[in-house]
Structure 1
Amino acid sequence: MGEQASDQLIQDLEQKHDLVRQRIQKFTEIANAEAVRLPLYCFFETKKTELLRRILSPRWAKTLATGVTHKILVTESSACLHGFHRQGLDATHSGMNKFAGPECPNFKLVKDVVRQLVRNASAVLTLRKNSPDERHWMVPFGRNREFVGREAILQDLLGRIPPSVDKDNCQRTAIEGLGGVGKTQIALEAAFRVGDAHPDCSVFWVPAVDATSFENAYRVIGQLLKVPGINEEKADVKALVKTALSCESTGSWLLVIDNADDIKLFGDMDLGDYLPFSRKGSILFTTRNHEVAVELVESERRIIPVEEMSRDEALELLQKGLKGDQIGDVASTDALLEFLCNLPLAIRQASAYMGKKQISTAQYLELCNSSDEDTIELLSRDFEDRHRYKDIQNPVATTWLISFQHISEHDPLAADYLRFMCFLAGKDIPQSVLPPSGRLKTIDALGTLKAYAFISQHKESDTYDIHPLVQISMLCWLAQSGEQGEWAAKVLQRLADVFPVPKHENREEWIGYLPHTQRALELRKGTEDGDALTGLLSRVGESFHQLGKYEDAERMHRQALKLSENVLGKEHPDTLTSMNNLALVLGSQGKEKVLGKEHPDTLASMNNLALVLDSQGKYEEAERIHRQALGLKEKVLGKEHPSTLTSMSNLACVLDSQEKYKEADRIHRQALGLKEKVLGKEHPSTLTSMNHLASVLRKQGKYEEADRIHRQALGLSEKVLGKVRRGILEQEIRVVCLRAGHIRLLFYSLFFILLYFLLIACHRKGLGGRVTI
C-alpha cells in the first residue's frame, strides 16, 4: 500500500491483516491447484498518482505539486498473486480500468489477455474434466459428531499434515499413544478438517491392522486412481499404488495409515517399502509403538504423543452419551473418570453400558470396585461404535490383548516383564526387582513396553509405572490361561531373593520394595513356597515393625509363623524365630494393654517369647518371662491346668540351663507330682518330667536317685510304648532338649532308648536275667 493511502483505510486493513492474508493465501492455493487451474492474470499500476489534483484545480495542483505528492497507491506485491501471470499498465491507480480508445497501449494489453483466455477456455475445461488427479475421498467412517477436546493436538497436526505446508517434501507425521487413547478419532477429525480447508486434496485412509486390510485399502485407492493392471489377479497392488501416488500428476493427497504398529507387517518387506513419495503428498500414521513411529517418520520432532484426556475433556465425552440424572452425583462421576484414567475408549465403553442399562455413574463405579473380575468383565464388553472398524472388537481389554500378543511374538522378555509387573504395585517399580536377563536385553524389553505405552519411566530414574487398567487386564488374562499361580510364585521367589534384611542402613532399598512385596503377597492365591515365602513374610513384617505399622507387622508375622509351623514343624529354629518376631511385635503393639495381661493370647505370646529367648541362650530374660507367665497362669488357669504345668517345666529347664539346680530340682518335683495327679503316671508329659528331674539329680551328684527315676521312666515307657506309637516319647524328649538346650540330656535319653531296645532283643533271645547300670 502506498504512503498516500487513507490512514483510516490502512488502520482498518491492519486490524484485519491476518484474516485478509489467510483469505488471499487460501484463494491462491485453490486457484493454483492443478485440480482447479484457474487462468488468472494480475495487472498493476506503474504510474504514480498526484493526490492534490483530486482536491484542487489542475493549475493549483501543478503549482503546489512536489515529489512527495506523487506515489504508487497499490504496489505490485499487493496487487498480484504468487504463481500467476502479472502485467504492469502505464496508468495511475484510478486509471487502471479506463482507456482512451482502441489504440491505447493499456487497452491493447488487456484485450490480448482476454482474447487468450477465450481461446484457451475450451482446452482448460477439457483438461479439468479429464484430469486424473480429481479429488478423492476414501475414509471408512463418517465424521464423529461426538468428538470432543484435543484442540491443541489438532492445531499441531493441521500445521503439519496438509501437503501444501512443505512444497518441497512429502512430510510424514505420527500420532502415538496407548491403545484406546483416541489416536484414530484424532486422525479422523484431522482428515475431515484437511478436506474442508483443502478442496483440491484427496484423502486416503489405510488400516494397517494386518497385511490383508492394508492391501485391500491400497487396491481401492488404485481403482479410484484408475491405475492400469490394478484388478489383475497377480497384480502387485502395493507397488502399483505406491508408484501412482508418487507421481506428482496424481495431484495433492493425504494418506492416513491407521494402526501402524508392526513395521514387519509384510514379513520380509517392511511397511516403509510401500510408502509413496510425492512433493504433493503427506502421510499421517497412528501407532501404539514408539519404535515403529521413529522408524517411519525418522525424527522425534515428527511424532505427536497422545495421552489421556484432561478431566474437563473426559467429563464432556462422558456427558455426550448420558442423561443429566445419570451423572448427577458429581463425586461418583469424578471417581469413575479417575478409575477409567480419563481414557477415551474406556469412557465410551462405560457410557455405552450405562446408557444401555440406564444406570448412573455411582452404580457403574460400584460394579468396578466390587472385584477385579467384575472390572475386567466390564472392560471386555463389546459395544457399538460406528467410528471404529466393524471387524475388530471395541473393548479396552481386547485392544490391549492384541498389543500383548504382538509383544509376545516379537519380544518374549518384554511380555514376561509385563506379566511380572502386574503382580506389583503400579507406581515406582524398581528395575532391580525384575528378573535379571543381561543389561542390553533388559533395556530392549523395557523399551518395548515403553514403546507401547504399557509402562512409563520416571525421569533420571530406573523406576517405572504400569498403567492400572493394563495391570487389571493382564491379571485377568493370566487367570484365564491358568498362568496366575505360576507367575505369582515366580514373583514371590524373586522378591524373596532381592528383599534385604531391614536395617537402618538400607532403609531406602527395602522401603522401595515394600509396596510391591505387599501387593504380590495379596495376589499369591494359594502359593505356599515354604522357605521363600516364610522368609519374605518375616522381612516384610520386620519392615512394618520398624515403620511403626504394628498391625501390618503382626499380620505378616502370624502368616510367617503359621506357614513355618505347617512346613517346618513347631520346634524348628525358623519357627521359633517367627515366634520371637511375633512376640516382639505384640510387645511393641501393646497387646497386654489391649487384651490385658491375663488374656490367653497374651500368655501364649509370653510363653513363645520365653522359649525363643531360651533357644537363643538368653536365659535370664527367658527365666523372668517364664516366671511371669507361670504366675499369671496359676492365677487365671489354676495350678493344675496342663498349660500351667508346661510353664512350670519350662521354668525349671531354664533354671537347669543356668545351673540353678536346687530350684530346678524343686520345681521339677512339683511339676512331676502335679502331672502324675492330673495327667497320670503313664502320660508322655509325665515321663518327660521324670527325665528332666533325673537329669537335674545327676548334675547334682545324686546318682542313686537319678538312676531310680530313670529306671522308673524306662519301665513306664516300655509299658506305654506297647499302647501308643513309640515315637511319642522320642518326640517329647527331643522337644524338651531343643527348648532347654540340654545336649547331655539328649544323650542320656537316647542312651535309655537304645537300652530299651537292647532289653527287648535279649528277652526275645531268651537270655533272661537283669541288666544293671
Structure 2
Amino acid sequence: MTMEARRGLRRIAPLGDDPDNTTVDIITIHGLATESPRTWEFKKKGGTGVVNWLSDHDMLPAALPSARIFTYDWNANYFADAPVQTLLGHADTLLGLIAAGRGSQTRPIIFIASCFGGLILAEAINRAAQEGSVYRHILLSTVGIVFLATPFHGSDAAKQAQWQVLVAGIMGEQASNQLVQDLEQRHDFVRQRVQKFTEIANAEAVRLPMCCFFETRKTEMLRRILSPGWANKLSTGVTHKILVTESSACLHGFPRQGLDATHSGMNKFMGPECANFKLVVNAIKQFAGNASAVLARRTNSAVERHWIVPFGRNKDFVGRETILTGLLARISPGGDEHDCQRTVIEGLGGVGKTQIALEAAFRLGDAHPDCSVFWVPAVDATTFENAYRVIGRQLNIPGIDEDKADVKALIKDVLSRQSAGNWLLIIDNADDPELLFGGDIALADYLPFSRKGSILFTTRNHELGVRLVQFESHIIPVEEMSRDEALKLLQKNLKGDQMSDTKSNEALLEFLANLPLAVRQASAYMAKKRISTTQYLELCKSSDEDMIELLSKDFEDRHRYQNIQNPVATTWLISFQHISDHDPLAAEYLTFMCFLAGKDIPQSLLPPAGRLKTVEAIGTLKAYAFISQRDESDTYDVHRLVQISMLSWLSQKGERKEWTTKVLQRLDDAFPFPEHENREEWMGYLPHTQHALGLRKGIDDKEATAYLLFKVGESFCDLGKYAEAEQMHRQALQLYEKVLGKEHPSTLASMNNLALVFDNQGKHKEAEQMNRQALQPREKVLGKEHPLTLTSMNNLAIVFGNQGKYEEAEQMHQQALQLYEKVLGKEHPSTLDSMNNLGLALGNQGKHEEAEQMHRQALQLYEKVLGKEHPSTLNSMNNLGLALGNQGKHEEAEQMHRQELELCEKVLGKEHPSTLASMNNFGLALGNQGKHEEAEQMHRQALQLYEKVLGKEHPSTLTSKNNLRNLLEARTKSSSDS
C-alpha cells in the first residue's frame, strides 16, 4: 500500500466486519517525519521482524478486546513552505474524518498522540469546543487522552531556539529550516493554543481525563545524520539531549509518567512484557474502564449551553488585549466562587465598550464551552424586557409568553438557581440611572444572583457604574485606543495607496483622538468613496460644518444595534439628554465648555453656581467621560469631537445663537482688564475667550462683545503679539462705532488703543491719524483735563517722537505731564508713564543730562508705586540705561541693561518685544565698551528673535539689523587700525 493510500483515518484492529462486542474507539496520531505503521513498530534485533503494539493480537488488541483501533495518517514530511499553520490545519481534517467514519456519535473515544501529533489533537479539541461547532460531540465523547512526548512548550521551555534541536533530532537530514523559523516566530501562538486547550480540558462540563508521558533517556545527536547546516547550528557540545523535557511534555494539573525511553522510543514497545508498554496500556485501560462514568457525569451534570448574543463576531476587532485579559479573569466561571461577580466596562460613547464586551463573550465561549452567554440591551424598559423574554423562551420557562407574566422576575428566579449552570449576563448600554434604579420598576432589582453567574455591564456613566458594582476595583475604564491599535483599525478596510501618506495617517488619528467608532466610521467612508487619508483629513479640517456632516454619515455595521444610529455625531446624544434631564447645571457647563478651547479650561471661568452644586455638576460630566480633569488642578479638557457634536445639536434645536450670547456675556464678566497684577488669570482665560469670539456669528449683545474684544486686544498687546492685537481692536472699534457711535468714550478708547498697536508695529502715520481722531473728540466730549484726553495727548506725542518730530513730542509731553500731575498726582502710574516719555523726548534731542534726571526720578517712583518687577518699571530701567549710555557712562549702562534683561526674561518671557529691546540695548552697551564678541552674540540673538516675532520689515527689526552691521564694521575698523 502506498503512503498516499494509507493517509487518513484507517481501522487496523479488529480487521474484517465491525464486531458487535466493541464499545470504545482508540484513535492514534503520529508525529513528524513518519507515518503508520512505521511510527508504532519496534524492530527486532537481527532483522527478524517487527512488533506493532497497536495491531499485534497479543498487544493492545489483547489488552482491550472491546476496542476498535484507528490510525490517523497525515503528511508529516513536507514542511518546507507553511509549517505551523499547515500542521495545525490537520486538526480540521482529523475532526471531519472522525465524524464521517465512526458511525455512532455516542461511542467513547480514547486518543493516543505522539510528539507533534499531540499539538494537532489539542487544536482539534479547541475547534470542536468552539461555539456552534458541528464536531462538539467528538469533544464530549472523548474519555481519555494519552500524550507521548508532545512538545507543548517547545523543546526547552526556557529557550525558543531549542526548537531546532527538537526538529533536527526527530527529522535528521530532513530537518526543515522553515519549520524551525516558523516555530520560533509563532512560539507565542502555539503557547496560546495550548493554553486554550488546557482551559477546555479543565472546564466543568468537559473535564478531559489524560496522562502525559515523557522521555527520561537522552537522544544521541549524531552529527553524521544531520545536514551540514544543522550540524553547524548545534554546538559541538550537544551530543546527547532530552528532546522534549518533562516540563514541556506535561500539562499542569494532569497526571504525568516518565518512560525509560529516548524520544524515538516513546511510541515503540518490544512486546507484551515491556515495562513501558504496561505503563501506557494501563492508562488506556483505566480510561476505557471509566468511560461510562465519564459520559454519565457529563450527561447528568451538563446544563445545556445557551448563546443569546445579537451580533456575530467582529472580525475587524483589534487590540485591547490588556483590557480583555483582566476582563476575562473576572467574568470567567469561578472568577469568584463565593459571589455573583459584577463587572463594569466604562467609557465615553464610541470608545468601543460594546465591541470589547462582544469579543469577551466569544473568547469566554471558546474557553468555557459549558458557560451560557445572555445579552440584554438596557436602552429602555421595553428593550430590556424583550431581551429577557427571548432568554425565557430559550430556557423553556413555563408561562414566559403569558400576557400577565412577570418576565423579568421569572428570568431572575431561573438564573439564580444553581441548576442554571455557569452563565454570563451582559447588560449593554446601562446608562440611565432612572431606568435602573428609579421609578416603580427599577431594572436593577431584576438582576439574578448565582455563584455560578457573572454580570457584565457597559456604561458611559461612572457614578451609575459604582452603584451597579459598589467597588471601584470592579470597574474597567476604557479610553481611546493606542495609536498602533487605531492604525490597525483604520487600515482594516483600506488599500495600501489610500494610506500611503504616513503623516496624514498620524494626523487623522490625532484629529479623531484614536476613538474607535470615529476611526471605523472614517475607514468605512474612505473605503466607500475610495479616497485617501490625506483627502479625508482635508475634509475634516475644511470647516465644522463639513466635519459634522462627515461625523453624521451612517455606515454599515453589523456589530451595533440597528435601531440606534451609528454615526459619531449622534452616538453622544443619549448621554446629552440624560445629563439634561437629571443634572441641568452639568448640561449647562458642558454646553458652555463646547464654546471654549478644548484644553485646560479653568473651573473659575464657568458660570458661578455655588461650590457644592459646581462639584456635583463637574462630577456628572467626569462620570460620563465628557471631560477629564488635569492633575492637581481645577482645569478640564473636553474632546474636540464632543464640542463639534454639541454645537451641531444646539444648531439643530435653534439654540446656538442664544447660547453664544450667554457664553460671551459670561466671559465679559469673568475676563479682567489685563494688568500685570492679574496676568496669570487673564492668560488662563485668553485662549478660551479668543476661541469663543471666533464662534460669535449673529449674536445679540454686541456691546459686551466689543468690550471683550477690547480686553483681548489689550492682552495680546501686553504679550507683544501686535498683529493679533490689531485684529481684535479693529473688530472692537467697528462694533463700538456701530452700537455706541463714533464719539462715545468707549469708541474713543478703542480708537486710542488701536493707534498704540499701529505705533508698535511701526505704522506711525496710521497711528498719528488715529490718535488725532481720538484726541479731538475726547477734548470735545470729556474736556482737555480728563485722564483719557491726556492719554490721547501722551500717545500722540509718542508717535511724534517715533517719526522724528522731537520738538513737537517734547512740547506735548511737557504739557501732558503738567496736566497729569495736576489731575492725578505725581505718583500716579499714568503720570509716571508721562514722565518716562518726556525723558525719551529729551534724550532724542541730545538733552541727555535732563533725560537721565527725568528717568532716575521716574524709576524711583515706579519702584515705589508698582514694584521692581512691573513691566513699566523695567521699561523705565531700560530708558535710564539708554540715557547713561548716551552720556558715555557705559559701565553703568551695561549694569542697568543686564539687570533689566534678566527681569524682562523672567517677567515677560524671552520673545516679548520689550525683552528684545532690552537685549538690543544691552548689546549696544557691550559694544560701546569694546566687548565686541559678547555684543555680536547679543545682537545676533536679538535680530533672530525680532525677525521671528515682529517680521523682517518691522522698524525694530531694521534697527536691530543696523546695530549689528555697525558693530561688525566697528570691529573690522578696529582690527585694521591695530
When residues 631 and 515 of structure 1 are mapped into structure 2, their CA distance, relative to the original with a 3 A threshold, is closer
User: How far does residue 172 in structure 1 lie from its aligned partner after superposition?
Assistant: 1.3
CA distance in 1, matches of 2:331, 2:508: 36
Corresponding residue number in structure 1 for 2:636: 464
Q: Residue 332 of structure 1 corresponds to which residue in structure 2? A: 504
User: Counterpart in 2 of 1:317?
Assistant: 489
Aligned counterparts, 1:392-431, within 5 A: 392-431=564-603
Residue 389 (structure 1) aligns with: 561
Contact kept, 8 Å, 2:592 with 2:606, in 1: the verdict is yes
> 1:470 and 1:345 mapped to 2: Cα distance?
13
> Residue 247 of structure 1 corresponds to which residue in structure 2?
417
Structure 2 residue 292 is matched with structure 1 residue 155? no
Cα deviation code 1:82-122 (max 9, x no counterpart): 9x9xxxxxxxxxxxxxx99xxxxxxxx99999999588678
Matched residue SS, 2:572: helix
- What amino acid maps onto 1:224 in structure 2? Q
Using the alignment, how far apart are the partners of 1:561 and 1:400 within structure 2? 40
SS at match of 2:450: coil
1:261 lines up with 2:468 in the alignment: no
Which residue in 2 is equivalent to 1:489?
Answer: 661
> Aligned equivalents of 1:22 and 1:563: distance in 2?
69
1:187 aligns to what? 357
Matches within 5 A, 1:536-615: 536-592=708-764, 597=765, 602-609=768-775, 611-612=777-778, 615=784
Residue of structure 2 equivalent to 1:448: 620
Structure 1 residues 540 and 196, CA gap change in structure 2 (3 angstroms): same
Conservation of the 8 A alpha-carbon contact between 2:399 and 2:405: yes
How far apart are 1:569 and its partner, in Å?
2.2
Aligned residue in 1 for 2:91: none
> By how many angstroms is 1:504 displaced?
1.0
C-alpha distance 28-333 of structure 1, shift in aligned 2 (>3 A): closer
Aligned partners of 1:528 and 1:113: how far apart in 2?
90
Q: Which runs of 4+ in 1 moved over 6 A?
A: 9-14, 16-29, 78-82, 109-116, 618-633
Shift of 1:628: 11
1:27-71 deviations in Å (ceiling 9; x for gaps): 887567554477x799xxxxxxxxxxxxxxxxxxxxxxxxxxxxx
Q: Counterpart of 2:537?
A: 365
Count of residues in Structure 1 that have an aligned counterpart in Structure 2: 569
Question: Matches of 1:119 and 1:245 in 2, distance apart?
Answer: 30
- Provide TM-score, normalisation by structure 2: 0.53
The 2-side partners of 1:288 and 1:341 are apart by 17
Structure 2 portions without partners, runs of 5+: 1-151, 161-186, 212-245, 256-271, 274-281, 806-811, 821-978
Tell me the SS of whatever aligns to 2:637. Answer: strand
| Contact 1:610–1:621 under 8 Å retained in 2 | no
Task: Determine if contact 2:784/2:790 at 8 Å carries over to the other structure.
Answer: no
Higher mean displacement: 29-38 or 198-207? 29-38
Cα 1:426–1:627, aligned 2, differ >3 Å: closer, same or farther? closer
User: Secondary structure in 1 aligned to 2:481?
Assistant: coil
2-structure distance, mates of 1:486, 1:539: 22
Q: Confirm or deny: 8 A CA contact 1:610 1:625 kept in the other structure.
A: no
Mapped to 2, the partners of 1:336 and 1:27 lie a distance apart of: 41
Deviations for 1:405-448, whole angstroms, at most 9, x for unmatched residues?
Answer: 12111111111111111111111111111111222221111111
Alpha-carbon distance between aligned partners in 2 of 1:562 and 1:632, rounded to the nearest angstrom: 27
* 1:660-716 deviation digits (Å, cap 9, x = unpaired): xxxxxxxxxxxxxxxxxxxxxxxxxxxxxxxxxxxxxxxxxxxxxxxxxxxxxxxxx
Q: What residue is the counterpart of 1:216 in the other structure?
A: 386
Deviation at 1:588, TM superposition (A): 2.3
Letter in 2 for 1:607: Q
Alignment of 1:95-106 (within 5 A): none
Q: Distance in 2 between matches of 1:544 and 1:625?
A: 18
Q: Structure 1: which amino acid aligns with 2:640?
A: P
Secondary structure of residue in 1 paired with 2:488: helix
CA–CA separation in structure 2 for the residues paired with 1:478 and 1:202: 44
Measure how far apart 1:12 and its partner are: 7.5
Q: Which has the larger radius of gyration?
A: 1
CA distance in 1, matches of 2:368, 2:380: 30
The answer as to 2:169 corresponding to 1:169 is no
Question: Residue 576 of structure 1: CA displacement?
Answer: 2.1
CA contact (8 A) 2:775 2:793 kept: no
Go from structure 1 to structure 2 and tell me whether the alpha carbon gap of 1:204 and 1:552 turns closer, same or farther (over 3 Å shift): same
Equivalent position amino acid for 2:723 in 1: E
CA RMSD of aligned residues (A): 4.0
Question: What SS does the aligned partner of 1:363 have?
Answer: helix
Give the whole-Å Cα distance in 1 for the aligned partners of 2:643 and 2:252. 62
Are the aligned partners of 1:205 and 1:256 in contact in 2 as well (CA < 8 Å)?
Answer: yes
Identity over aligned pairs, percent: 66
Alpha-carbon distance change, 271 to 458 in structure 1, aligned in 2, over 3 angstroms: farther
Match of 1:666 in 2: none
Contact 2:346 2:458 in 1 (8 A): yes
Q: Which deviates the most, 367-376 or 525-534?
A: 525-534
Q: Does 1:284 align with 2:450?
A: no
**Take 1:112 and 1:147, find their aligned partners in 2: how far apart are those partners?**
46
Q: Which residue of 2 aligns with 1:62?
A: none
Q: What residue is the counterpart of 2:607 in the other structure?
A: 435
Q: CA deviation at 1:382?
A: 0.5
1:474-514, CA deviations, whole angstroms, 9 ceiling, x for partnerless residues? 11111121111100110111111111121111111111111
Q: Does 1:499 align with 2:665?
A: no
SS in 2 for 1:145: coil
Q: Do residues 518 (structure 1) and 690 (structure 2) align? A: yes
Check whether the contact 2:316–2:489 (CA below 8 A) recurs between aligned residues: yes
Per the alignment, in what secondary structure is the counterpart of residue 315 of structure 2?
coil
Give 1:398's aligned amino acid.
Answer: T
- Tell me: CA distance 1:612–1:193, structure 2 relative to 1, closer, same or farther (3 Å): same
Residues 537 and 217 (structure 1 numbering): CA distance in 2 closer, same or farther, change over 3 Å? same
Shift of 1:575: 2.1
Instruction: Please point out which of 695, 701, 709 is paired with 1:529.
Output: 701
2:304 corresponds in structure 1 to 134
| Cα distance change, pair 549–240 in 1 and its aligned pair in 2 (3 A) | same
State the partner residue of 2:647: 475
Instruction: State the 1:632 CA deviation.
Output: 14
Distance 1:110 1:347 in 2: 55
SS at match of 2:616: helix
Deviation of 1:396 after TM superposition, in Å, equals 0.5
Which letter maps to 2:372?
A: S
The verdict on how the C-alpha distance between 1:569 and 1:399 changes in structure 2, with shifts beyond 3 A counting, is: same
SS in 2 for 1:307: coil
Going from structure 1 to structure 2, the CA distance change for 1:168 and 1:567 (only over 3 Å counts) comes to same
Counterpart Cα distance in 1 of 2:774 and 2:284? 116
Q: Shift in Å at residue 231 of structure 1?
A: 1.9
The normalised TM-score by structure 1 is 0.66
For the Cα contact (< 8 Å) 2:768–2:799, is it kept in 1?
no
Q: Give runs of aligned pairs for residues 30-41 of structure 1, distance below 5 A.
A: 35-36=205-206
Letter in 2 for 1:603: Q
SS in 1 for 2:435: coil
Counterpart contact for 1:493–1:533, Cα < 8 Å: yes
Q: 1:479 to 1:620 in 2, by over 3 A?
A: closer
Matches within 5 A, 1:34-53: 35-36=205-206
Report which stretch shifted further, 160-169 or 261-270: 261-270
Larger deviation, residues 152-161 vs 524-533: 524-533
1:668-747 matches, within 5 Å, as none
Question: Counterpart in 2 of 1:52?
Answer: none
Tell me if structure 2 keeps the 8 A contact 1:583–1:609. Answer: no
Question: Alpha-carbon deviation of 1:188?
Answer: 1.1
Aligned-partner Cα distance in 1 for 2:488–2:283: 58
CA distance, structure 1, for counterparts of residue 288 and residue 427 of structure 2 = 47
Q: Sort the Cα spacing of 1:612 and 1:136 in 2 relative to 1 into closer, same or farther, 3 A.
A: same
Q: Is the 8 A contact 2:203 2:368 kept in 1?
A: no
Contact 1:206 1:214 in 2 (8 A): yes
Deviation at 1:579, TM superposition (A): 2.1
